[in-house]
Amino acid sequence: MEHAHALSIAEQAHTALAPSCDRIEIAGSIRRLKPEVKDIELVAIPRLVPAGLFGDEREVDPKFCAIVNQWPKVKGEPTGKYTQRVLPGGMKLDLFIADAENWGLILAVRTGSAAFSHQVLGRRWVQRGYTSVGGRLTRGGVVIPIHEETDLFALLQLPWVEPWAREM
């Protein structure tokens, strides 16, 4: 699909989800400004709301879940780390769920390209003694918070690369 048309669809999904998110961004080939797009990728931090008998627990905002669940499910749940849905018009949505502690890592990896994420970012974190576990970077069993993409590049001692230049 042409970039402009895919961007329009992605923006509609973004707009629908944004009120029930703390953060949400379009990622993938749309963010990299590719002329042709095969799917839509969003990274979101859904808002958490009080839950449990006394409101002392937190759960993903039911409004977020209701919006995601209106789109036909391919796999995953909106309360997990990933779900794939089919948007109106047939375009696939890959929705990656992050939190404040791993936002930068998830957004960088899901912006891609796949080759850049693997050959540049992944190789570099292995070289520097980090491991990716469950969507988080760890070193010696300790989780390293990656709040922003710039934090990841700094941690890996890599110069910042704009999303549209992340190709291999």
CB 37 within 8 A of CB 26: no
* pLDDT recorded at residue 54: 74
Average of pLDDT values for 131-145?
Answer: 95
* pLDDT recorded at residue 2: 96
Q: Does residue 73 sit in the same domain as residue 126?
A: no
Average pLDDT value for the chain? 96
Count of structural domains, the chain: 2
Q: How confident is the model at residue 44 (pLDDT cuts 50, 70, 90)?
A: very high
Among 47, 77, 97, the domain-final residue is: 97
CB 144 within 8 A of CB 136: yes
Among 97, 127, 150, the domain-final residue is: 97
Q: How confident is the model at residue 3 (pLDDT cuts 50, 70, 90)?
A: very high
* pLDDT recorded at residue 168: 80
Alpha-carbon distances, residue 14 vs 8, 26, 120, 122, 161 (angstroms): 10, 7, 28, 28, 24
Average of pLDDT values for 105-111?
Answer: 98
Among 72, 97, 122, the domain-final residue is: 97
Q: Does residue 91 sit in the same domain as residue 61?
A: yes
Which tens digits make up the pLDDT trace of 60-86? 999 999 999 999 999 999 999 999 999
Average of pLDDT values for 96-117?
Answer: 97
